[in-house]
Structure formats: C-alpha cells, structure tokens
Amino acid sequence: MRLEKYLVNCGLGSRRVIIEEVKNGNITVNGEIVYDERIDIEKEDVILYRGKFLKEKELKYYALYKTSGYITAMKDDNRPTVVELLPSWFPKESFFPIGRLDRDTEGLLIFTNDGDLNQKMTQPKSKVEKTYLVELFFSIKDEDIKKLELGVEINGHKCLPAKVEKVNEQAILLTIVEGKFHQVKRMIRSINNKVKYLKRMTFGKMELGNLKEGELREVLLEDLI
C-alpha cells in the first residue's frame, strides 16, 4: 500500500496535509524519516508520526434513505440536517455524506469515513452513474429526451450525455455522471420543464432497493463501486 493511502486511512488529514507532514519530516518508516508519500509500505513496517504510532481506522459504508426536509450537511445552525435521520449510535464525528442531495430531494445517500471512496465517487473523471426518478410539472416531449441524451447546456456548461428512460408522460428515470449544484433541476429547466419531485434511486452500483424512508443500513464497499 502507498504510504499516502495508509496515512489517509489513519485519519491524519487530507492528502494536502499528508504531503506537508511528510515534506516536513514528521513521518518515519522503520526509524528512517521519509520525504516521499508515494513510497510503498508493507504490513510489517513501523510507521510513526512525530514519534507516535498511528492506528488505521476501520473503513465503513452506510446507505441512508434520505427523506425531504433535511439539508445534506453534518452541521447547520438554522436548518435540520441529515444528522437528525441518523441513529444515536452513529459515529457522526468521523463520517460524512458522499455528495449532496437538496433539502427537498429524497433517496439514496451514502455515508462513509473513507476519503478515497469519496473522491472516487464524486470526481467528474470517475464517471460514476447516479439515477434519479424525476417527476415533472409538464409532459416531456421526445425531442426533450433527445436533448438530455445529447447533453444539455446549463449556464454555459455542456452537460455530458444523460440516459433517459420514460416512466410516463410526466416522469423519467435520468442517469447522469456529473454532480454539479442542482444539476438535475437545472437540466430539466433547460428543456423548459420543472422538477416536481426528485428521488435518487442509485449511486454507483448501490440501489435504494427496499430501504425504507429514513432507514440506515451498513453496506459493503463492493456494493458501491
């Protein structure tokens, strides 16, 4: 494993912090100061940070069926957050949601303490698919579906082609690989329609499946990506 990944898993900080700590000579491997975070380390190597042992944290993954009315944040002074949907035993301090759902959006939200997975699932270049059930105020025309499939423009940004499955005249399943602010709502606005109801059905390999509203379930990394 790369030293950098090991240090991320130990919760030492972001990659930027880790690069800085290594550059400053604060990490030793088997008693030797190392200055390159990209080196490979073995299980039996002794890694110390400022002379102290580090403990690799156990990486965990949870799927939550977010209901409407909660913002995707671990803290907010005024508005209810998704934390209110989490059970009291949930270790809120070290976990975070991967990506965001709007306050009025429902559906699948993943929580983890795995910074690497967070990056993998949210980086545009990773092209991780997300499928939304989108209910619309007005009937959708075939030509609008074509536009979404080719890639609509939102505020000067040309969206990547989306997959569209028509559910009925006023509902579609929309699959996208980007995650810009209000992406779905803005894509729908660009075809002169409006979102009435939005629910995330899948994220990567994970499906909302039979999760009940407000339910949290532990899942495996291989269920996600």
Whole-angstrom Cα distance, residue 111 to residue 98? Answer: 6
120 lies in the binding site for ligand URA (CB under 6 A): no
Q: In this structure, are residues 135 and 174 in contact, taking their beta carbons and an 8 Å threshold?
A: no
Among 183, 201, 206, 224, binds ligand URA (CB under 6 A): 183
How many residues sit close enough to ligand URA to count as binding (CB under 6 A)? 8
Q: How many CB atoms lie within 10 A of CB 210?
A: 8
Considering only residues 23-82, where is the footprint of ligand URA by CB under 6 A? none
Beta bridge partners of 202: 131, 207
Considering only residues 184-223, where is the footprint of ligand URA by CB under 6 A? 184-185, 198
Q: Name the residue nearer to ligand URA (CB basis): 183 or 202.
A: 183
- Candidates 39-47, 82-90, 100-108, 138-146: pick the segment binding ligand URA (CB under 6 A): 100-108
Shortest separation between residue 78's beta carbon and ligand URA, angstroms: 19
Q: Give me the 124-153 binding string for ligand URA, x by CB under 6 A, dash otherwise.
A: ------------------------------
Among 102, 116, 207, 223, binds ligand URA (CB under 6 A): 102
DSSP labels, 21-44? HHHTT-EEETTEE---TT-B--TT
Q: Which residues are catalytic?
A: 102
Q: For residue 90, what are its two tokens?
A: 């949930």
Whole-angstrom Cα distance, residue 49 to residue 33? Answer: 10
- Residue written as tokens 């619309």? 136
Shortest separation between residue 216's beta carbon and ligand URA, angstroms: 19
Q: How many CB atoms lie within 10 A of CB 81?
A: 17
Residues of the shown chain interacting with ligand URA in the complex, contacts defined by CB under 6 A: 101-102, 105, 182-185, 198
